Amino acid sequence: MHSLWDDDEAAKYPGELGLRVYTSRLLGRDKTLVLHGGGNTSVKVVQKNLFGEDENVLYIKGSGWDLETIEAAGFAPVQLDYLQRLARLDQLSDTQMVNQLATHMLKSSAPAPSVETILHASLPYKFVDHTHADAVLTITNAPEGERRIRAIYGDTVVVIPYVMPGFDLAMLCAREYPRQAGPNTIGMVLMNHGIFSFGESARQSYERMIDLVGRAEDYIKRERAWDIPRADVKPARIEFLHQAQLRHRLSTVSGGPMIMATHSDDETLAFAQRADLGKLSQQGPVTPDHIIYTKHVPMLGADVDAYVCNYKSYFDEHAPQAKGPKTMLDPAPRVVLAPEFGLAAAGRTAKDAAIVAELYRHSMRIMQRANALGGYRSLPPRDLFEVEYWDLEQAKLKRGGNPLPYTGEIALVTGAASGIGKACVDSLLARGAAVVALDINPAVETLYPRQDFLGMRCDLTDEQAIRLALERAVLTFGGLDMLVLNAGIFSATRKISELGTEEWRRVMAINLDANLVLLRACHPLLKLAPKGGRVAVIGSKNVPAPGPGAAAYSASKAALNQLARVAALEWGADGIRINSLHPNAVFDTGIWTDEVLAQRAKHYGLSVEGYKTNNVLKTEVRSRDVAELAAEMCGPLFAKTTAAQVPVDGGNERVI
C-alpha cells in the first residue's frame, strides 16, 4: 500500500475543506479501504457565524455520499462545541442522537451527518480518517485478533473492543482514547469494525492511514496468509432456468421482485468449491457494517425455502438476546453460494446486487486470509443482530421511500437501438426496471453506461443468438418479467405483382418468425416472473387497416397479431398477459427513412408534414407516445387485461 498524494493534484483543492475532499477521494479510490459509501472522514475548522464570531465546526461526511466521488457539499457542518458536550453525557439513545445531530447542523441543505459524528468530534485532532480496511478486518477476525493488533502497532494505536456504531461507541472512545493514547499515537483500531488515523493536516492523516494499513498487510504477508491458494477449479455448470427459478424463490421469500446477478469467475468458483465452505461461509459477515448490505449469513446451495426456515429458527434463538423486541422485515438472503455456479448476489436493484457482490468478494478474501491465520471467526450472533435490527436501520427499512413501480423487475426490448424500441428502454428504465436491449445495430451495446442496462447486438433470425442473449440476461439480472416485441422492418413500397419472394421471406423472417422463436424461448422465464409475465407487442395500423404497396409488412404484422392472440389464450394459465399496440405514422423510427417517408407521402398525394399529421386529431405520434403506453400496459392498470389491441395513431378513419 502506498500514498497517492500528488502535490499538483492537491493544489486544485484549496482550503482545509478542499484538502479534506481531496484525501477523502484518495481513500475512496482504494477498494481495499473503502467500499460503496463506507468509511468516514472529517475536519475541524473555525469559521465566522452571522454575528462575526468565531465558531468551531466539524465537517463530516454525510449519508449517501461515497468517498471516491465526494464533494464539499457532501460534508455536513455541525456545531463542534455542542457535539463535544454530547460526548460527555452518560447516555443518549440513537434516535435522540440523530435528532441532536440534525438540529445542530449549520446548513439545512446538508446531508445527514454520520452516526459516528460524536466519535469524530471527541478525538483531539483536526483531521480524522476512518476506513474498513480489508487487512485490518482480516486480523481482527482471526484468533487472538486483539493480541495481533497490539503486536503490530504497539503504542501507535488505541484499541477499542467491538461496540455497535452509535452513541455507546462514541462514549467508549471518548473514555478510552485519553486513557490509552501516548505521544506516539497516530490511530485507533475498532475491533471487527475498522481503523482510524489522525493528523493536523489532511496529508498527514491520510498518509498515516496508508502507513497503518500497510503494516497490517505486511503482517499478513509475513504470516504467509496473503496469497490465497486455489485448488483446481471445476468449470461452472450453469442451468440458466435454474438461476431464474432461484431468483423467483428469492423474490417470493423477500415479498417482492429481486435482481439477481450470477458470478462464475475463477475467484467465486474457487471459494464456492472449497471443502470447508459450509464452516467458513456460515459464521457471519466480516464486519456488522456489511450485514446491512449482504442481509444475513449467506446460504449454501440453492434451497432458499430450507434456508429461510433455518434462518427463522436461528433468529428465534438469538434475536431475543438483542435489545428490545425485533421484527424480521426481509428474511431473504442476498448471497447464494453453490459449487455449480459460484456466487449469486441479489438486491432490490441492479446497483444493490452489484454492491452485495463486491462486498462479498472482499469478504471472501478476508475470510480466507483470516482462516490462514488460524481460523476465521465472526462476531457473536448477538452483535450481528444488534446491527441488523438496530432502531435506525429498522426505521430506514420501514421508510424505504417510494420505490419505482418496476423496481426489481427485468424487461427485454427488441429493436432497441433507436425509435420506438429506444423509447421503450427509456420508459422502462424510468419506471425502475432493469432493461435488456437487443438490436442488430451494435450501437445498442453502448446506449447507456449504467448498471441496470444491458445492451447486446443480436440477430433475431438466429435462434442460437437468441438463446445466448437470454442466457446472458439471466446471468446479469436473474430472469425476465416483461418482453417488448418491437424489432421489425418496413420494406420499400411495392405492389404484390412486383413483390419478390426473397423480399417477402426476409420481412416474414424478421417481423414474424423471429418473434415466434423469441416468444417460445422467453416463455419459461416469463412463467417465473414474481408479478406475472407481461408481453407488449408493437403491431401496426396495417393490421386492422392495411394499405396498398405494403403487402409483406401488413401480412407479417397481421400474423404476429394473431400469434399474440393465440399466446394470450395459451399462456393465461401461466399468469402471462399479452397485449398489442397498433401505432401509425411514427416517423422518428429507424424503419422510416427519408426515402420511404417521401414515397408514402407521394402515394397519398400529401406533403411530408401533411402526411405526418394525417389523422383525426391532426397530431403527430412520436416514439415516446407509443413507448409510454407499452410500459403502462406492463403495469397494474392493465393487470386484468390480455389480448387487447390498442391503436396509437391519433385516430385513423379506416381503423375507426
Give 556's contacts (C-beta < 8 A, 6+ positions apart).
488, 507, 508, 510, 511, 512
State which H helix or E strand residue 457 sits in: strand 453-457
- Four-point Cα dihedral 285, 286, 288, 294, nearest 10: -40
What cell numbers appear for 40 in the block?
468516514
Asked about 553 being catalytic, the answer comes back as: yes
Give the integer Cα–Cα distance in Å for 441 and 510: 14
- What is the distance of C-alpha 247 from the center of its chain? 15
Give the integer Cα–Cα distance in Å for 344 and 364: 14
Count of other CB atoms within 10 angstroms of residue 459: 15
The one catalytic residue in 360, 553, 604, 611 is 553
What cell numbers appear for 323 in the block?
435489545
What cell numbers appear for 341 in the block?
455456479
Q: What is the DSSP letter of 378?
A: -
State how beta strands 434-439 and 410-414 pair: parallel
CA distances from 113 to 8, 386, 522 (A): 31, 21, 47
Give the integer Cα–Cα distance in Å for 428 and 421: 11
CA distances from 287 to 110, 283, 366, 413, 634 (A): 28, 11, 10, 40, 41
Residue burial 606-630, b: 16+ Cβ < 10 Å; e: rest:
eeeeebbebbeeeebbbbbbbbbbb
- What is the distance of C-alpha 143 from the center of its chain? 34
Residues in the chain: 656
Q: What is the CA radius of gyration of the chain?
A: 30
Q: Are 342 and 265 in contact (CB under 8 A)?
A: yes
CA distances from 319 to 95, 164, 298, 381 (A): 20, 15, 18, 8
- What is the distance of C-alpha 250 from the center of its chain? 16
Residues annotated as catalytic (active site), given as ranges: 553
